[in-house]
Amino acid sequence: MHWQRYSRLSRRAFPVSIEPSTATLPAVMDLWDRDPADDWREIAAAGGMVVRTDRWGVITAARQPTPETVAADWQEGHSCPVTDLDVEIRTSSIPRRVIVVSSSPDVSPPVVGVWDNPDADSQALTYEMRIQSSTVTTAAAATSLAALSGQRWSKPQSSVSVTVPARPDLAYGDLVLLRRAQAAVSGPYRVAGWTLTLAGRDRAPEPMSVRMMARQW
């Protein structure tokens, strides 16, 4: 039945003609010393693809997505699937003081660099950041690293979570576009993780919560 159906489809698409042959496969296939996986990778690479295992353990060959490939566009509008959006602003990561200590074995005694946040008192900051660096060998370098680190972390951290219909295909680091003016959320975000609750057999999964990587204001 299946062969007859295939034959009819083949005749409609293009003629197939296979000459009789006496060639047979060997009783024992000799793979030499080469790993078959190397063949997969070379064949995939010829088509601009890579061989990888997805989260379900299935080996696939596909084009490698670029870091700028948009996995989801959840900007506000009629087609936006976001049903809930939470924003958390954290100031606990803003340092009052940054202390850099050299851990290089060539420096004795260790050199130290300090940066004090000029807004520490007005913002009631208490967090003291300590950094050990084996590449710092002078007091000037330690002070410079302390200042750079302090300025880098001197802004509040914004953490965003959204609720959307199930999207279990999303992976860590995927690029998502978000915009909700009332929540002051706009721009590209990266997926940090998600939570999906399965309702049971023959039932649609519940909406999932997607957590984005924190960003500085």
Report the candidate in 129, 125, 131, 130 with the shortest Cα–Cα distance to residue 92: 125
99 with 204, same domain? no
139 with 170, same domain? no
Residue 37 tokens read as 């996986």
pLDDT at residue 96 is higher than 60: yes
Q: Is the pTM of this model over 0.85?
A: no
Is there a domain that residue 65 lies in? no
Is there a domain that residue 57 lies in? no
Q: Which of 152, 171, 192 is the last residue of a domain?
A: 152
pLDDT at residue 66 is higher than 80: no
Residue found by looking up tokens 């913002």 in the block: 123
82 with 165, same domain? yes
98 with 84, same domain? no
Q: Which of 128, 152, 176 is the last residue of a domain?
A: 152
Residue 194 tokens read as 């998600």
Is there a domain that residue 201 lies in? yes
- Domain span at residue 113 reads 92-152
Higher pLDDT, 216 or 8: 216
104 with 115, same domain? yes
**Considering its fold, how many domains does the chain have in total?**
2
131 with 143, same domain? yes
105 with 206, same domain? no
172 with 128, same domain? no
Report the candidate in 138, 147, 130, 131 with the shortest Cα–Cα distance to residue 110: 138
Task: Indicate the pLDDT class of residue 55, thresholds 50, 70 and 90.
Answer: low
Q: Which of 103, 135, 152 is the last residue of a domain?
A: 152
Identify the CATH number of the domain in which residue 169 sits: 2.30.300.10
CA-CA distance, 145 to 141, in Å (whole number)?
A: 6
Residue 28 tokens read as 């024992």
Is there a domain that residue 178 lies in? yes
| Max CA pair span of the chain | 90
Q: Which residues contact 126 (CB under 8 A, 6 or more apart)?
A: 96
**Once rounded to an integer, what is the mean pLDDT over residues 105-114?**
92
Is there a domain that residue 115 lies in? yes
pLDDT tens, position by position, 114-135? 999 998 888 788 889 999 999 9
Task: Check residue 149 and give its pLDDT.
Answer: 92
Residue 129 tokens read as 């950041």
